[in-house]
Structure 1
Amino acid sequence: MLDGGKSPGYIKVAVSRAATATEAVTEAVSQIERRTTCFVMAFVPTGMDLEVLAHELDRQMGGVPVFGCTTAGQITPNGYETGALMLVAFPRRYFRCASLFIPTLDPLPMQRISEDITRLKSQFQRTAGWRRFGLVLCDGVSKQEDLLASTLQVCLGDIPIYGGSAGDGLQFKATFVLHGGKFHSGAALVLLVETALDFMGLGFDHFRPSETLLVVTDAIPEERLVLELNGAPAATEYARKIGVSVADLSPEVFAENPVLVRQNNNYHVRAIHSVEADQGLSFMGAIDDGLVLTLGTGTEIIEALEAGLGVRGQGGQRPDFILAFDCVLRKLEFEQKGMCDEVSEVFRRHNVLGFNTYGEQHCGVHVNQTFVGIAFFDHTPEDLH
């Protein structure tokens, strides 16, 4: 049963907070009409037995495809949660889907992905009047998301792609995607989705660039590791620029003091993950020697959130629901500021549903500390109701 605000009209959302995988799946699946469902997305809390969970989902859904991932938190009809299994069922009346599983991300098989995506597009017959988008879920600690996102967007052409990196709480150790009745690490899942509904992609944060610049002067790009900024040890220089000691650096401090990268006249957050040996900084996105980073400053959070979610369809209507990929670092900042309840209330009013990620994919770009989503609207109400 939905326990937030007004329920979406075009999908079914099922939530269970049961302690065991079997109980959670049984409770959630009982809320779904399998006969009318095209596919299900599962957003999984930390600590559940993944083998049991995958087996029970496969068994109890009775042949309905289930795709999903482990998460760093869920966005349910109640807003932010950490211990909920959430299933989002997409009905055949409004959605069609084809999937591509990528079992290995390191090294990334770009030629194979290109061939497979081309084949998927050609074999997935178009429905007149329906539109397409791509969804990607990938291992959040693979360090391959930048190349994966850009490769997929090139392959899909004018079909926009959105998604998120799987999480595992805040451990940053092992994350998994769900495909074919099993959870897989070091892997990715691409869904090509066709829908009768209008939709709009979203991507926003609440930071603006400052005057403070940090130039990467020594890095190990394949490890996303910065050794020096402005010719000084990276952690020392970053801490000096934000006015704290190296000993005070933490995920909470990184979340409140992000660095931004300029790309195509837009600024994207390039999140810092941790301080490493010899004062290095580990990042959650691509870095390289010579990259110019700009220290970001925060704007009013709720105002930015309302503006980002307050989109309207072609007829001026509010979204029926918004499928969300929301960076865990945003939630971490909100928690530190005591704002999670307020943010959750905004999510409830806008029918936001999804999960907290280790990074987001937005139209070919891998970003951090960003809200990425897809807002779905009525297409032609007289035909669909």
Structure 2
Amino acid sequence: MNSQYIKRAENCLNDEMEAVKELADQLYQEDLAGVIFFCSIGYDLGKIKDAVAKYFDCPVTGCTTAGEIGTRYQKNGIVGISFSSRKFAFHCAGIDDLNNFNLNEAKDLIEDMKKNLKFSSVLDPAKIFTILLIDGLSVKEEEITSSLYRALEGISLIGGSAADNLTFTRTFVFAENEFRTGVASFVLIESKMSFKAYKMQHYQPSDKDMVITEADAAKRIVTEINGGPAAEELAEIIGIPKDELTLEVYSTHPVMLQIGDEWYVRSIQYVNEDDSLTFACAIDSGIPLTVGEGTGLLPSLKKQIDQIRSDFSHIEATIGFDCIHRRLEIFAKGLVDEVENELGKIKFIGFSTYGEQFNSIHVNQTLTCVVIGKP
């Protein structure tokens, strides 16, 4: 399962101290550069924090999930990955004030990190990638992602929005040795090994179009579509009764937005009592949307993983962020075993998210990842 320089681990032990100890035992290396973990919101996070402090003596970051992904899709557990300082260097920073973080703040943060680079003196896209873990209910992913990527001078950025098992109440990021809400953890990773970032999705636009006619952009709430109550109009466009709008329906009938030549999914989180819709991505009045049609999650995944395997002669590990809507579709369609088999081919470790980041864009219903290995 593990390589000489990267180790992955997972378990679903109920006791927090035992779960982290088991994780630490499996991730142990004499020369740890850093550790990233993803854990269930069901744990006592104070006990997880204490256990991390006890069992790890290196930079550690992580967040809560809507399910963890290791060799299998799991819930109510913890997964993690560790890196050897012989091949990697970690630079971690917490972003505390998401509301006021901007391009200038991002530039200052990156400049501070540049001063402490160990393997090079410049931001080299061939030697550095970055990971962002952010509160999945903060409604600030777009601003933070865009600001950081603009300051990164072409360095790859991938990430995931922390989750809370679909309760949509509070999500937590482990930054600066604490679990906190309303924050992000940004990690710049220097690597002496080759790597490449990927974005995967399996939807294309249909001929079912609509226009958002009223929305609260700050809260990502759409109140009107095509001049009528949002939920009613969406249900009519999809062709189902309004009371059948569920997360599973959003997973299989997502709405899409065109940006340039690319189409991006704009996932719906839930219907509100007033028939408005809460989205997981930026949304605003006047935006045209289209219902997406699936091209087949499994065939698409196989094709994309075949491409990854052709890009690398050997894969050490893949860190990935997979939308909760994809997980729901995988389970609803009975694809779990086959998807786990495909992800195993790229040595995947990650979690089910409330949103994904890829370079400058915050996306939904997508799998973003960085693959590390030999060309």
Q: Tell me how far 1:34 sits from its aligned partner.
A: 4.2
Residue-by-residue CA offset, 1:304-325 (whole Å, 9 max, x unaligned): 0011222347875153322110
What is the TM-score normalised by the length of structure 2? 0.94
- Per the alignment, residue 5 of structure 2 pairs with 10
Does the Cα contact within 8 Å between 1:324 and 1:352 map onto a contact in 2?
A: yes
Unpaired runs of 5+ residues, structure 1, are 1-5, 380-385
Does the Cα contact within 8 Å between 2:220 and 2:280 map onto a contact in 1?
A: yes
Q: 1:8 to 1:356 in 2, by over 3 A?
A: farther
- Structure 2 CA distance, aligned partners of 1:119 and 1:7? 33
Matches within 5 A, 1:41-80: 41-61=36-56, 63-77=57-71, 79-80=72-73
User: Aligned match of 1:170 in 160, 166, 169?
Assistant: 166
3-state SS of paired residue (1:38): strand
Matched, 1:29 2:21: no
- Structure 1 CA distance, aligned partners of 2:275 and 2:314? 48
- Structure 2 CA distance, aligned partners of 1:346 and 1:297? 22
What is the TM-score normalised by the length of structure 1? 0.92
Q: 1:316 to 1:91 in 2, by over 3 A?
A: closer
- Structure 1 CA distance, aligned partners of 2:289 and 2:115? 41
User: Aligned match of 1:255 in 251, 254, 267?
Assistant: 251
3-state SS of paired residue (1:47): coil
- Per the alignment, residue 228 of structure 1 pairs with 224
- Per the alignment, residue 187 of structure 1 pairs with 183
Unpaired runs of 5+ residues, structure 2, are none
Matches within 5 A, 1:1-385: 6-61=1-56, 63-77=57-71, 79-127=72-120, 131-312=127-308, 317-378=313-374
**What one-letter code is carried by the residue in structure 2 that aligns with 1:64?**
C
3-state SS of paired residue (2:66): coil
**What one-letter code is carried by the residue in structure 2 that aligns with 1:147?**
E
Does the Cα contact within 8 Å between 1:318 and 1:377 map onto a contact in 2?
A: yes
Residue-by-residue CA offset, 1:114-163 (whole Å, 9 max, x unaligned): 32223223443443896111110000000100111111111112111110
- Structure 2 CA distance, aligned partners of 1:314 and 1:324? 18
3-state SS of paired residue (2:289): strand
Q: 1:146 to 1:316 in 2, by over 3 A?
A: closer
3-state SS of paired residue (1:86): strand
3-state SS of paired residue (2:26): coil
Does the Cα contact within 8 Å between 1:235 and 1:246 map onto a contact in 2?
A: yes
- Structure 1 CA distance, aligned partners of 2:39 and 2:335? 23
Q: 1:27 to 1:313 in 2, by over 3 A?
A: closer
Does the Cα contact within 8 Å between 1:11 and 1:88 map onto a contact in 2?
A: yes
**What one-letter code is carried by the residue in structure 1 that aligns with 2:266?**
R
Identity %: 32
Does the Cα contact within 8 Å between 1:261 and 1:269 map onto a contact in 2?
A: yes
Does the Cα contact within 8 Å between 1:327 and 1:356 map onto a contact in 2?
A: yes
- Structure 2 CA distance, aligned partners of 1:7 and 1:119? 33
- Per the alignment, residue 3 of structure 1 pairs with none
Q: Tell me how far 1:18 sits from its aligned partner.
A: 1.2
Does the Cα contact within 8 Å between 2:68 and 2:77 map onto a contact in 1?
A: yes
Residue-by-residue CA offset, 1:241-291 (whole Å, 9 max, x unaligned): 111111111111111110011112101100011111321111000001111
3-state SS of paired residue (1:278): coil
- Structure 1 CA distance, aligned partners of 2:300 and 2:112? 40
